[in-house]
Amino acid sequence: MIITLIGGTGDIGEGLALRWAHDTAHEIRIGSRDPQKGIDSAKKYELELSNRGQKRTVLGGGNHEMTIGADIIVLSVPPYYIVDTIKSITDAISPGSIIISPAVGLKRDDDGNFYSSPPPSSRSVTEYAANASPDGVPLIGAFHTLPAHRLSDLDAPLNFDTLVVGDDAEAKQIVIQISNEINGLRAVDAGALANSAEIEGITPVLINISKSNKDMDELGVEIK
């Protein structure tokens, strides 16, 4: 399976790229608005894996180029770039591809507290992205509550769950399957795309708890 991380040079993109490249045999591609930045990040991830005794090829380049032929397209970009990013790669998306959105809209008040801030036209960033996706291409929400720094640290165990939402049952099961292939990560079916607003709202809660408790950094979700 070919997994392309659009915006794979950022925190969440780096973490998912490293984990999938380390734990699975899927082809991993890194996309960026700046093709050279995508290439450089891919080489960086290859070196990280090589230093751990793992020979892996990670491809890098521009978003459009890296999308061609991809089975899974992860939109690891800031929320305010999502619609423009989808538009820029639409004609490169293959029939049968699945888009994943892990983005969460966040704002901070004057006291430094974070809160959920979805786009004005939608209840959640996930639904906002789904409305902009090409017809017939399912969009699944996942990875919203994973701490990015811990995700990108291959020495750190995850032991987290990720809540997966979507309206296409088959696509959702595929995303659950490839998520479960990451060591220490368990994907949990959280129902329809309409549930994404509540799930995205968990992220600022985790950040605020982490800020208020020095011994609780890099929090995630674990369902028991």
Domain ranges of the chain: 2-212
Low-confidence ranges of the chain (pLDDT < 50): none
The angle at the Cα of 158, spanning 37 to 44, to the nearest 5 degrees, equals 20
pLDDT value, residue 79 = 92
Residue 142 DSSP SS3? coil
pLDDT value, residue 116 = 86
pLDDT value, residue 112 = 86
Contacts of 178 (CB under 8 A, 6+ apart): 1, 3, 20, 24, 26, 72
Query: Can you tell me which residue has the tokens 């991993």?
Result: 28
Dump pLDDT digits (tens) for 143-161.
Answer: 999 999 999 999 999 999 9
- CATH fold for the domain made of 2-212: Rossmann fold (3.40.50)
- CA pair distance 33, 8, nearest whole angstrom: 10
Tokens of 96: 């049968």
Dump pLDDT digits (tens) for 20-64.
Answer: 999 999 999 999 999 999 999 999 999 999 999 999 999 999 999
